[in-house]
Amino acid sequence: MEHKSTEKVRCLIIGSGPAGYTAAIYAARANMNPVLYEGIQPGGQLTTTTDIENFPGYPEGISGFDMMEDFKKQALRFGADIRIGIATSTDFSDTLLKVVIEDEKVIEADTVIIATGATAKYLGLPDEAQYAGMGVSACATCDGFFYRKKKVAVVGGGDTACEEALYLASLAEKVYMIVRKDHLRASNIMQQRVAETPNIEVLFEHNTLGLFGEHGVEGARLVKRKGEPDEEIVEIEIDGFFLAIGHTPNSKIFADWLETDETGYINTVPGTPRTNVPGVFAAGDVADPVYRQAITAAASGCKAAIEAERYLLENGIRCNG
């Protein structure tokens, strides 16, 4: 396919959450003239969360959307070129790194910072969209604080679900774990901790049918032992519904070139954002299955920009003032 145009840039940033925008701030200040493509979800996952109260410097809290607008303004102030568009394919076989935008424009970059994030897996219920930010969350450490002394449910049976349930149990009055199977997939130590926590109740062999509530989540409708002769419909009263069935890193278009773990998270040299391809750096949730916080993503975006600047200097690619 003939591509319409080719553009040469020094630093290309793909993605626009805390990692992408922070990388843009640092890269712009270092005279790298970064070009950033915002991707499918401008502002990233944060724009779908409730208020952010754990980011230092915002003592009153701030909405995810407003925070990302602030990050974006700061990057623009230093001259970052921020564009609407989605990266659709890549070719990292040469020192000049090629990224195709919207299947038509080719960007040839000396350095690429990947900050495409991850997408939380949902059950696919229409109610999940209806109650987004009104009781439905995919991040207990982000939103758990809003459910102090309330009742919540966590969907999932793996280590992540157990971790989320244990975290929420320290805040909420009651935590239900909704588990499809008749056992937890989690490690023995996590299972033991859940069993020893008095305000966690595990509902084995339960599937979620839907959520209900007037101005937010007030309860969940479940089916117990679906398809069995003793199948029954169960309703639980809850204020929050947390999904802990995993995340999918948005790394598919880089799969031919970059090393990833079995889930698709981009592998980086420990403690750095460097990937297996020189000049390509990964920041934020696309390379972080562990912490997944705005502040850790922002920090990794800073590291990626500094590494990109060093790479350009070491390779004699000048950053003009």
pLDDT of residue 206: 97
Mean pLDDT of the chain: 94
For residue 192, what pLDDT is reported? 96
Active site annotation includes 143? yes
**Residues ≥6 apart with Cβ < 8 Å to 68:** 16, 17, 18, 21, 42, 43, 44, 46, 47
Residue 120: name the closest of 151, 96, 142 by CA: 142
Number of other residues whose CB lies within 10 A of the CB of residue 288 = 22
pTM greater than the 0.85 cutoff: no
Residue 1, pLDDT score: 46
> pLDDT by residue (tens digit) across 77-134?
999 999 999 999 999 999 999 999 999 999 999 999 999 999 989 999 999 999 988 9
Annotated catalytic residue within 11, 127, 139, 302 = 139
Element (H, E) at 19: helix 18-29
CA angle 173, 136, 219 (to 5 degrees): 60
* Per-residue pLDDT, 9: 97
pLDDT of 51 reads 78
What angle, rounded to 10 degrees, do the helices at 18-29 and 294-314 form? 40
Q: Is 142 annotated in the active site?
A: yes
Q: Which residues 6+ apart lie within 8 Å of 218 measured at CB?
A: 212, 237, 238, 239
CATH code of 122-243, in short, is 3.50.50.60
Residues 171 and 129: their CA atoms lie apart, in Å, by: 25
Angle between helices 18-29 and 64-77 (to 10 degrees): 20
30/305 Cα distance (integer angstroms): 9
Which is the catalytic residue, given 110, 127, 142, 239? 142
d(CA 67, CA 62): 6
Q: What is the DSSP letter of 43?
A: T
CB 50 within 8 Å of CB 56: no
User: Is the fold of 5-119+247-314 the same as that of 122-243?
Assistant: yes
Which one is catalytic: 51, 110, 127, 143?
143
Tell me if residue 302 is catalytic.
Answer: no
pLDDT of residue 2: 54
Kindly calculate the radius of gyration of the chain based on its CA atoms and give it in whole angstroms: 22
Say which CATH topology domain 5-119+247-314 has.
FAD/NAD(P)-binding domain (3.50.50)
Cβ count near 174 (within 10 Å): 19
DSSP-assigned states of every residue in 77-134: HTT-EEE---EEEEE-SSSSEEEEETTTEEEEEEEEEE---EEE-----HHHHHTBTT
How much is the pLDDT for 50? 61
pLDDT tens-digit series, residues 217-250: 999 999 999 999 999 999 999 999 999 998 899 9
Query: What residue segments make up the domains of the chain, in order of their start?
Result: 5-119+247-314, 122-243
Low-confidence ranges of the chain (pLDDT < 50): 1, 321
> Dihedral sign, CA of 263, 264, 265, 270?
positive
